[in-house]
Amino acid sequence: PLPFSHSLLTRRFLSGCASGKFEKPFVVLVIGAVLFGYMTARVSYLVPNKSRCTGSGLVERRLRSELASVLGTYERRMSDTQRPIVNPHAFDYVLNAPGVCKGNQVETVIAVPSRIHSFEARRAVRETWGGVANNTVLLFFFGIVQPADSTKHTPYYEPETKLTPEELQTLLRKESSVYGDIVQENFIDSYRNLSLKSVAIVRWVSLYCPGSTFVIKAD
Ligand SMILES: *[C@@H]1O[C@H](CO)[C@@H](O)[C@H](O)[C@H]1NC(C)=O
Ligand SMILES: *[C@@H]1O[C@H](CO)[C@@H](O)[C@H](O)[C@H]1NC(C)=O
């Protein structure tokens, strides 16, 4: 005896198998059960995600698979060096000191973000903590002064210096030729562009002083 022989359905089924004929109520019952199961499955498939009915689910699935295939192609085609650079930092040098590390055993680069009008502060740094250690290079980093807007009455960049952008730039150029410690890129020098100045420091060290062990950013 089978363990489930008490089941009416099982007995009907087994007797049907033995005789080669299934009783009508049994057949109807089985077909009904299959239909019921199928409908229930359909309903539970449709109801939780209504968007399938409107077609947007289909669109979403299609978009997903397209995105996956595009990304897959991208991954396959691009090697690490070919990936597009999101922030290329495409600025040029206005003033530079490209040779300060050449031929020297430079261990540390001290990079100081500075504003052009801070002449006295730079003098103090050179005479004190910036100028004491051996195997160390001290550099000041700048953007450019935003040119005065000729349509507005703003003849001076910094009211306290009373100097035009051109005059400030001339002074910085002179300072660069005297001390050789000025790096200036052509982005606009402003507080909100300090991040660009940090990138400028990293870029400069990687280009002109790749053998150094430490970079100190200080101001
Ligand atoms: C730098 O090097 C010179 C020459 O080797 C040495 O006399 C001097 O003491 C060093 N200065 C520092 C701060 O280490
Ligand atoms: C930062 O520099 C860029 C490049 O010169 C300039 O377009 C932008 O206006 C600057 N942003 C600020 C806030 O000064």
pLDDT digits (tens, 9 = 90+) for 67-112: 887 777 666 666 666 777 778 899 999 999 999 999 888 999 999 9
Check whether residue 97 and residue 78 sit in a common domain.
no
Residue 108 structure tokens: 């540390």
pLDDT category at 32 given cuts 50, 70, 90 is: confident
CB 88 within 8 A of CB 191: no
pTM (2 decimals)? Answer: 0.63
Q: Which atom of ligand 1 approaches the CA of 132 most closely?
A: 13
For residue 98, what are the contacts with CB-CB under 8 A and spacing of at least 6? 207, 208
The amino acid at residue 119 is F
Q: How far is the CA of 133 from the centre of ligand 1 (A)?
A: 8
- Helices then strands, counting H and E runs in the chain, come out as 7, 5
52 class by beta-carbon count within 10 Å (0-12 exposed, 13-18 middle, 19+ buried): middle
Check whether residue 208 and residue 127 sit in a common domain.
yes
Residue 117 lies in a domain: yes
Q: Above 80 in pLDDT, residue 126?
A: yes
Q: Cβ(132) to ligand 1 under 6 A?
A: yes
Q: What percent of the chain has pLDDT over 90?
A: 46
- Number of structural domains the chain divides into: 2
DSSP string, 156-210: -SBTTTTB-HHHHHHHHHHHHHHH--EEEEEEE--GGGHHHHHHHHHHHHHHH-T
Check whether residue 211 and residue 109 sit in a common domain.
yes
Q: Which ligand is nearest to the CA of 134?
A: 1
Domain that holds residue 121: 93-217
Residue 87 lies in a domain: no
Nearest CA to ligand 2 atom 9: 188
pLDDT value of residue 100: 95
Q: Select from 52, 82, 112 the last residue of a domain.
A: 82
Q: Select from 82, 110, 134 the last residue of a domain.
A: 82
Check whether residue 101 and residue 75 sit in a common domain.
no
Q: How far is the CA of 192 from the centre of ligand 2 (A)?
A: 8
Q: Cβ(134) to ligand 1 under 6 A?
A: yes
Q: Above 80 in pLDDT, residue 154?
A: no
Check whether residue 132 and residue 167 sit in a common domain.
yes
Q: Which atom of ligand 1 approaches the CA of 133 most closely?
A: 13
